[in-house]
Amino acid sequence: MQERVRELELNYQKYLIKKRVKALFLGICLFFILSGAYFGFDFYERKKQLFAKALEEKKSLEKKLEDLKIAQEKNKISKEKMKKELETLKQNEEELKSLNKIQITSISLNIGLLKKAFYENPSYEKALFMSKMYYENKDYKKSVFWALKANELDKSLKESWFLFAKAKEALGEIQEAEQAMQFWEEYYGFLEDKEG
């Protein structure tokens, strides 16, 4: 009978050990499941934030690209407009040459008188005339000087700007010529469009 009691006690102890091992095993499994769920959720959240950031960056880049395309198109239109206006100015200048040939030759002899007249009573027209005269005589540096004088007297009139650009172009300073025309187009062309 004592053996039977011992056997039962031994079986009971085995049962308790099995029960504890099962509880421990279940605890470990539950720990891994919860850890996996936590890390999975954390990974998902980080991926979600990264995706949102990437999407925002993509939208920002698309907007910048769109703005650049618009600016490039405006620049292209501005250059085409400037070329057309330069061609128109050249045509007008050819017409003026044919009309004023006699006047120019007689006045070119009295350039000192023209300068004196300008400095006594400065005017846009006199400075512009001097600039044209020097341009026709292929003295482009002096043409630039007198175009700037005319421009000082009235910045909003485009003829002095175009004459300045043509003289600069003749001197091989094409970038300066383009910048001058672009500046006029951006600031004074805008005002002219508003008035027109």
Instruction: Report the domain count for the chain.
Output: 1
What pLDDT is attached to residue 196?
46
Q: Do the Cβ atoms of 113 and 121 come closer than 8 Å?
A: no
What pLDDT is attached to residue 101?
54
CA atoms of 22 and 132, how far apart (whole Å): 105
pLDDT in tens, the chain (196 residues): 788 888 888 888 999 899 999 999 999 999 999 998 899 899 999 999 999 999 999 999 999 999 989 988 988 888 888 888 888 877 877 776 666 554 444 445 467 788 888 899 999 999 999 999 899 999 999 999 999 999 999 888 888 888 999 999 999 998 988 888 888 777 766 445 444 4
180's tokens: 């001058």
What pLDDT is attached to residue 134?
92
Q: Do the Cβ atoms of 146 and 159 come closer than 8 Å?
A: no
Q: How far apart are the first and last CA of the chain?
A: 123
What pLDDT is attached to residue 174?
87
- CATH assignment at residue 65: 1.25.40.10
68's tokens: 């650049």
Q: Do the Cβ atoms of 71 and 144 come closer than 8 Å?
A: no
Q: Do the Cβ atoms of 165 and 177 come closer than 8 Å?
A: yes
CA atoms of 169 and 195, how far apart (whole Å): 30
Domain hosting 161: range is 2-195
What pLDDT is attached to residue 99?
60
